[in-house]
Amino acid sequence: MTLGDVVHRFKTMTTRRYANAVKQFCWPAFSGRLWQRNYYEHIVRDGESLNHIRQYIAANPTRWSYDRENLAATRPELEEVWRS
């Protein structure tokens, strides 16, 4: 099984469970997609690379207001700007 297979199955499983919970437990329906279409994989080669990835993950929620996937973004920016 490839990483792509694992991610696909995870997204499918969680989307189905969410949809079922919307019906069964009256969770609020989500307008749009639950998951972005793709994902980014990166090989961790050393401690510096690992720290960069950790910083990216920690700072990611603060960038949501600039994300092009966010329909309510105040100033959507190109991903390359904040990924670097």
Please check whether residues 1 and 29 belong to one and the same domain.
yes
Please check whether residues 61 and 77 belong to one and the same domain.
yes
Please check whether residues 46 and 30 belong to one and the same domain.
no
Rounded Cα–Cα distance for residues 60 and 17 (Å): 25
State the average pLDDT over residues 20-40: 88
State what percent of residues in the chain have pLDDT above 70.
Answer: 88
Rounded Cα–Cα distance for residues 22 and 16 (Å): 10
Please check whether residues 30 and 18 belong to one and the same domain.
yes
Please check whether residues 31 and 46 belong to one and the same domain.
no
Structure confidence at residue 78 (pLDDT): 58
Conformational region of residue 12, where left means phi above 0, alpha means psi within -120 to 50, and beta covers everything else: alpha
Range of the domain at 55: 42-84
Single pTM value for the model: 0.57
Rounded Cα–Cα distance for residues 63 and 57 (Å): 10
